[in-house]
Structures are given as C-alpha cells and as structure tokens.
Amino acid sequence: MSGTLLVDNIGELVTNGAGEGPLGIRRDAAVLVEEGRVAWVGPSASAPAADRRIDAGGAAVLPGFVDSHAHLVFAGDRAAEFAARMAGERYTGGGIRTTVGATRAASDDELRATVRRLRGEALRQGTTTMEIKSGYGLTVDDEARSLRIAAEASEDTTFLGAHVVPAEYADRPDEYVGLVCGPMLTAAAPYAKWVDVFCERGAFDVDHARAILTSGQTAGLGVRIHANQLGPGGGVRLGVELGAASVDHCTHLSDADVAALAGTAHSDGSGTRTVATLLPGAEFSTRSPYPDARRLLDAGVTVALATDCNPGSSYTSSMPFCVALAVREMRMTPAEAVWAATAGGARALRRDDVGVLTPGARADLIVLDAPSYLHLAYRPGVPLIRQVIRNGVTQ
Ligand SMILES: [Zn+2]
C-alpha cells in the first residue's frame, strides 16, 4: 500500500531496540511506517504527519511475533493420538508416520489449504514471520512439493527430510540417509533456506544427523536441528559444532550442552550465535517436563520461543500461549518471554529486519487489547491481539 501510516498514542511501545529495559520500551510513543518499513519512532506528541493514522488509544504495541519453528505442510490430524496420550500413553514420535501417510495421499491444493489456514490462524494471533518445515512427505517428490508449497507462504523454509525414517526404509536407515543427502536434498534445496534433522532416539542418531546437515550446508542451506527433546544426547553439541543458527527443543540438557551453547557467545555481549529455541507447546501437549529456560538464560544463552505447530505433538499456532507457558512453567520473566518470541525468534532465523521496531525494520506491528505486554502472560488464553500490521499493511 502506498503512502505513510502513523500509529500513535501508543501507551507502551516494545521496540527491542533503544529504550527502557531489555525490551527497549518507550512510553506515549508513535511509529511512522513508509513503504512497508519503520521510518521513524518517537514521542507521540512530536510525530510527523502521515497519509493514514491508527490511534492505539493508549494500548501496548509490539513487534509481530517471529515463530521460528513450525510444521505446517501436512494432511489429517491426530486428535485420537492426543486423547490416548492424555489417557496415559507416552509420546514417542512414532505417530509422525501416520501424518506421512495422509500427506502423501493429499493433493497439492489440500496441502496448500492447510498451510493457508494455519498461517492465517497464526497471523490473527500476531505472528508476522513464520518458518515452515517439510518433513511429512519423505520421498523425493513429496519433500520437494512440500517445500514448494511452504515457500508460497514463507521466506524461511526448512528441509526436514530427516524427520523420521519412513516405514519402507525401516530396516535400511543408512539407505534412507543416503537418499536424504543425495536426490532428496537436490530436489528440495531450490525451495529451502534451511536444513534440519530430528536427532533423537527412534529418529536419527548423531552420525546420520551430521551427514545430512553437512550435505545441506554444502548445498548452501543454513543449519538448524531438533535436539534433546525426548532424552539426553549429542544433538545440541552437534548443532554447535556445525554453527547451527538454532538448536530446538533443548528439554534434556547436560552441563556440557549448556556450556557448548554459552561458548558460541558473540564477543560484543549481544548473545550467542547458536540460539536455543524452546517449544513449550510440545511439552504441554505431550504432558512432559518443560525445558529449563532459566538455566540457559543464566548461562548467557540466547533463547527463542516458538510454537512447533504440528498435528502430533503441539497443535497450536499461538505465540501468546507459548509466552504464557514460558512464564508460568519455564521460569522466564514476561519481558524475557516476549523478547524470546520476537527478537529471539528473529535471531534463530538470523534475521535483523524482523522482531524489532526500529527505523529500517519491516513494519510488522501488533496492537494489543491491553495497556502492557505483561498481559500476554497475565491473561492467558484471552484474545489480546487487536490489530496486526504486516509489511506496513493492516491485516
Ligand atoms: Zn518440530
């Protein structure tokens, strides 16, 4: 949309830049948007004139959420598996194969409709940037089409051919890894920015994960990894070794894992090069112990929060829900959780144009139906996102 837009009369503006506290808060503020970018941030009283105006009415305004971990390309759901789990069955990750069967049988348009529906659902809850993974096709053609469809909805697409060993390769995992590193990667890479592996007992071990991730790097993809979700293991340290942008889940960490992450700290004190992305929706939905965010934060590790939106272990697209869980269950302060859900997610995707409201950033803003960001954790389950602006466009 052409012309300038002024959002003024903002009671509390979270910038994640210059301002009060770690969230860079400014009071009685205004934001000027021009050509999809933040052009100016300052006191509401001295805001420049603009073609259009949104009066925030004293409410809080934040950068849109950056959900750096989501699996949206799939068919069917697993509500019955969830019910069984809530009746006492343990989560093993084996149910992924159920979704693989449904996804392979679905048409492109069916998959596209699911991506659009979930992307729209997330947007209404304030998510303006959302990473999307493949991982329910697990054939050369099905992974390539999953990523092609993901790329229609996101700039941050991730090749997760190594989500689980599909049933037809159950007794030949080495052969499947060869397929992932070879023809599948070649077919997927044109539509992917990242490569990811589910490194876990029952999925892929550290040696397989290393082979797949380094092949992805050679093909020009950035590294991220699902690690240490269901039990301890070498996934986090492998991620650090390979310079991953993010290691995701981090539920079962040893002191060595935490030290390895802390060891990736930038020398200027701006956090760690490898981000720990915590996904409390997964622990909620599998009734599992939560990761200890406090331990990571106290060690100086940069933490992001994401939904892990997927039909098996975390079927939520709600970043506000994850913020509330992180505060209540993971010993994060509301400020830490909101930072992790915005700027933290951006770091996990190695992006500096989102997750902040400073001049030059993409104009992704959410206006809350509340006077402060604190209400995101203080009022769980309440639809507090009044308005979403993405790329300078009112949604
Ligand atoms: Zn995941």
Predicted confidence (pLDDT) per residue in 164-195, tens digit: 999 999 999 999 999 999 999 999 999 999 99
- Ligand 1 midpoint to CA 209 (Å): 15
Query: 184-228 pLDDT, tens per residue?
Result: 999 999 999 999 999 999 899 999 999 999 999 999 999 999 999
DSSP percent split of the chain into helix, strand, coil, nearest 5: 35, 25, 40
pLDDT digits (tens, 9 = 90+) for 3-61: 999 999 999 999 999 999 999 999 999 999 999 999 999 999 999 999 999 999 999 99
Q: Residue 334 Cα, ligand 1 centroid: separation in angstroms?
A: 24
Neighbours of 202 (CB within 10 A): 14
Measured distance CA(32)–CA(5) in Å, rounded? 6
Mean pLDDT, residues 331-351 = 98
The contacts of residue 321 (CB under 8 Å, 6+ apart) are 281, 307, 380, 381
Rounded-to-integer distance, Cα 105 and Cα 76, Å: 10
Quote the ligand 1 centre to 282 CA distance (angstroms): 9
Cα(363) to ligand 1 centroid in Å equals 28
Whether residue 30 contacts residue 43, with contact meaning beta carbons closer than 8 Å, is answered with yes
Q: How far is ligand 1, taken at its centre, from the CA of residue 174, in Å?
A: 22
The DSSP 8-state label assigned to residue 320 in this structure reads H
Q: Is 307 exposed, middle or buried (0-12, 13-18, 19+ CB in 10 A)?
A: buried
Kindly give the distance from the C-alpha atom of residue 120 to the centroid of ligand 1, in angstroms, as a whole number.
19
CA-to-CA separations, 110 to 101, 119, 126, in angstroms, rounded: 14, 14, 25
Measured in angstroms, how far is the CA atom of residue 291 from the centroid of ligand 1? 15
How far does the centroid of ligand 1 lie from the alpha carbon of residue 71, in Å? 6
Sign of CA dihedral 236, 293, 346, 119: positive
Q: How far is the CA of 365 from the centre of ligand 1 (A)?
A: 26
